[in-house]
Amino acid sequence: MLTSPLTFHPAPPVNDTPMRRAIYPGSFDPVTNGHLDIIARGCKLFDEIIIAVVVNPGKSPMFTVEERREMLEESLAGVEAGSCGLVVDSFDGLLVRYAVERGAEAIVRGIRAISDYEYELQMALMNRRQEPRVETVFMMAAEDYSYVSSRLVKEVFKLGGSIDGLVPPSVEARMRAKLGDA
């Protein structure tokens, strides 16, 4: 019998329930409106998204893991999630191991510009090599947020610039408090 040369063998699913669960990992130092936009878009694809703050991002963060988690919790109230469950968590160690432990079949990452692509592709392929059962799903944020990063938001804010509309008001308030603390 003739078989098609185009046969694909995707890895079996991580969990055998119909629940579609994804991890949205990141530093979230702090969460921006770009992150929230990606979460809202992810809600159209998944039943549950675990927003997972990396414990040791290898950078010196402005906010502690606990503060970053709190800001996410506060900000998620403004996300149109529909029936999608949103869970905030933090993790240490290998992302794909954490994803499997949590029964997630996908990792969501936002891509803003071509410049993000190379780094994201490297991570996605390395993650796939470690754990073929977990797929990476790239999502494009709204154009309005295509230049927004936590790093630039912090830099502009520290230099006295406006970050209005780029982060939720509660995050801006925490940044103001943090800078006042310093």
Which residues belong to the active site?
35, 59, 112, 150
Which is closer to ligand PNS, CB of 83 or CB of 168? 168
Instruction: Quote the least distance from Cβ 68 to ligand PNS, whole Å.
Output: 11
Q: Between 122 and 176, name the residue whose CB sits nearer to ligand PNS.
A: 122
Taking the complex as a whole, how short is the minimal distance between the CB of residue 124 and ligand PNS, in angstroms? 8
Q: Tell me how far, at minimum, the Cβ of 5 lies from ligand PNS, in Å.
A: 31
Query: Which pair of structure tokens corresponds to residue 44?
Result: 């159209």
Pick from 178, 82, 180, 99: nearest CA to 137: 99
Query: What does the block give as tokens for 38?
Result: 């990606």
Is the Cβ of residue 33 or residue 127 nearer to ligand PNS in the bound state?
127
Q: What tokens were used for 102?
A: 């949590």
Residue nearest to ligand PNS (CB): 26
* Residues within the interface to ligand PNS (CB under 6 A): 25-27, 54, 57, 94-95, 123, 126-127
Select 16 or 118, whichever has its Cβ closest to ligand PNS. Answer: 118
Q: What angle do CA 138, 144, 147 make, to 5 degrees?
A: 70
